[in-house]
Chain A
C-alpha cells in the first residue's frame, strides 16, 4: 500500500467506526454469549470424554503408544508423506519452519490493498488450500492403523523348529505389538507406512546384530531401546529374534 492508499484506508475506516456502536454493551454482550458457549463446550466434552490416565510411564517395559495430541497429527503426518531418509530433516523441521516464516512475514509480502476475500483470489485460495491440507493430514493421523495390532503367521522354518525358537518369536511379536512400533513402521499388512521404514522384510536386509544396534541407537525420531537391552536383555533378545525372522 502506498501512502495515498493508506490515508484513504484510514479515512474510510474512521467513518465506518463513527457509524458503529459502542463496544459496551453491544460487543461485550456478543463476547459474553460466546464465552458461555465456550464454557459449555468445554464442560460437555469433559463430561462425555472424561480424563483418562494410562499406566505409568516406564522406559523399560514398552506398552506404549507414541501418539501425539491430535493437534500435532498434521506435523507427524508430514513425516509419513515425505519418505526418503535424507529428507527427514526437511519434513520434521524444514517445512514447518518455512511455513512459520511465511506466516510471520505475511503482511510484508502480501502488499495488495484489497481486503475482500473474493477480490484477492491468490490469498484466499492459499488460505483454503492450507486449511484443507492441515485437515487432510489430521484426518490421516486420526485414522492411521492401530499401533498395537500385529497379526502375522510365524514363517514355516520357525514353526518347524518349534520349542524355544517359536516361543521367542511369539514373545517378540507381542513386544512389537505392545511397543507401538507400528505407529511408525509397517510389517506386512499391519501398521503405518512411515515415518519409519517398512519392516516387512527387515530380516532379509539386516543381520540380527545390526537390528540390535539400531534398536539401541536409532535414528531420530525413533525412541531408543538401550534401557530395555541393559535392564531386560531377554525381552530385548525376543524383539531381535522376531525382527530378524521377518522376510518375504
Chain B
C-alpha cells in the first residue's frame, strides 16, 4: 500500500520552539569537557610536531580492493616480535650472563621461584617458535602473490634480512639458559659454522670470543641476543613498514580494476 503523506497540522505561534537566546546555552557536561580536553591536548602536540598529517596519511590511506586474511601475517609477525620484546625485558631483569654459576642458577630461580617466572619464560620460548612460523608464512604469502616484484623489490630484500636476523635470535637465545641441551647444541652449531671455507674459523673465534667456550662467550651471545639483533630487527621492521605504507600493499594478483573506477582515475 502506498504511503500517503499528510500535511502537518498548523502549530500556533506560541508553541513553535524558538532558538535559545544568546548566552543561555546548555552547560557543558562532563563528556563535552573530556572531549574538549582531548582535542586540545592533541592540538597542543600537533601544534608543536605537525604530526597529525602523517598520522592521518598512515591511518586513512586506502588498502586495495580484495585484501584478505593472508595480509595479516606480516602484522602478526610484528606482534610476535613485540611480545618477544616485552617478555624479554622481564627475563632480563633476572638473567645473569655468567656461566661460572650465575646463568643457569638465575634461570632456575626465575623458573622455580619468581612469580609467573616460568610462564613468562615459556611465552618467550614458544613465542620464538610462533614468530619463526609466522615469518615463514608471511614470506610464502609475498612469494606466491608475486609481491616481491616491481616496485617492492627492496622490501623483499629487507624481508630476507629480517628472516636471517630472526634465525640469529633463535640461535643465540638457545644457549642462554645454559643447560645441557643449550650448551651442547650450541657447541655443535658453532662447529658447523666453523666448516665454512676461509672465514669459518675466524668467525668462530669471534662468536666464541676465543678458541673455547668461556664466560665471555655467554656474555657475547647475550649482548648479541638482547641488544644488537633486536635493535637491528626493530630498525629494519620500521623501514619495512615505512615502505609498505608508502607503496601500499599489493592487491591480490587475481584482482582487476573495474572500468568505472578506471574512468574516475583518468579524470583525477
Contact = CB atoms under 8 A, between A and B. Distances in A.
A223 B188 contact: yes
Given A16-B251, A38-B76, A38-B80, A22 B62 contact: yes
B115 interface: no
A56 B122 CA distance: 18
Interface stretch (A43-51, A165-173, A199-207, A234-242): A43-51
B181 A20 contact: no
Given A89-B195, A92-B196, A53 B257 contact: no
Interface string A134-149: 0000000000000000
A54 B180 contact: yes
A67 B144 CA distance: 32
Contacts of B251: 13, 16-17, 20
A69 B83 CA distance: 19
B123 A46 contact: yes
Contacts of B118: 50-51
A92 B192 contact: yes
A116 B139 CA distance: 16
Interface residues of A, number: 83
B184 interface: yes
A68 B118 CA distance: 21
A222 B122 CA distance: 30
Given A23-B58, A72-B170, A221-B192, A56 B72 contact: no
A19 B254 CA distance: 15
B99 interface: yes
Among B63, B76, B262, max chain A CB count under 10 A is at B63
A57 B71 contact: no
B185 A68 contact: yes
B237 to A, nearest CB: 14
B191 A221 contact: yes
Interface string B153-174: 1001100100110010011001
Interface string A32-60: 01110111011101110111011111110
Nearest to A104: B160
Given A34-B69, A53-B177, A92 B248 contact: no
B125 A20 contact: no
Contact of B129 (A63, A71, A92, A108): A71
B47 interface: no
A13 B248 contact: yes
A246 B182 CA distance: 30
Contact of B80 (A18, A42, A59): A42
Nearest to A220: B191
B220 interface: no
A23 B185 contact: no
Contacts of A191: none
Interface in A184-200: none
B88 interface: no
Interface of B: 58-67, 69, 71-73, 75-76, 79-80, 83, 99, 104, 107-108, 111, 118-119, 121-123, 125-130, 132, 134, 140, 143-146, 148-153, 156-157, 160, 163-164, 167, 170-171, 174, 177-185, 187-189, 191-197, 200, 213, 248, 250-251, 253-258, 261-262, 264-265, 268
Given A1-B149, A16-B255, 15 more contacts: A16-B251, A20-B251, A21-B62, A34-B75, A42-B130, A56-B180, A57-B179, A58-B183, A68-B189, A71-B129, A93-B197, A103-B163, A107-B156, A110-B148, A223-B188
Interface of A: 1, 6, 9-24, 26-28, 30-31, 33-35, 37-39, 41-43, 45-47, 49-51, 53-59, 63-72, 75, 79, 88-89, 92-93, 100, 103-104, 106-108, 110, 113-117, 120, 123-124, 127, 131, 180, 220-223
23 contacts: A10-B151, A13-B64, A19-B258, A21-B62, A21-B63, A23-B61, A34-B76, A42-B83, A43-B123, A46-B126, A49-B122, A50-B118, A53-B104, A57-B183, A75-B192, A89-B195, A107-B156, A114-B146, A116-B254, A117-B144, A117-B145, A131-B140, A221-B192
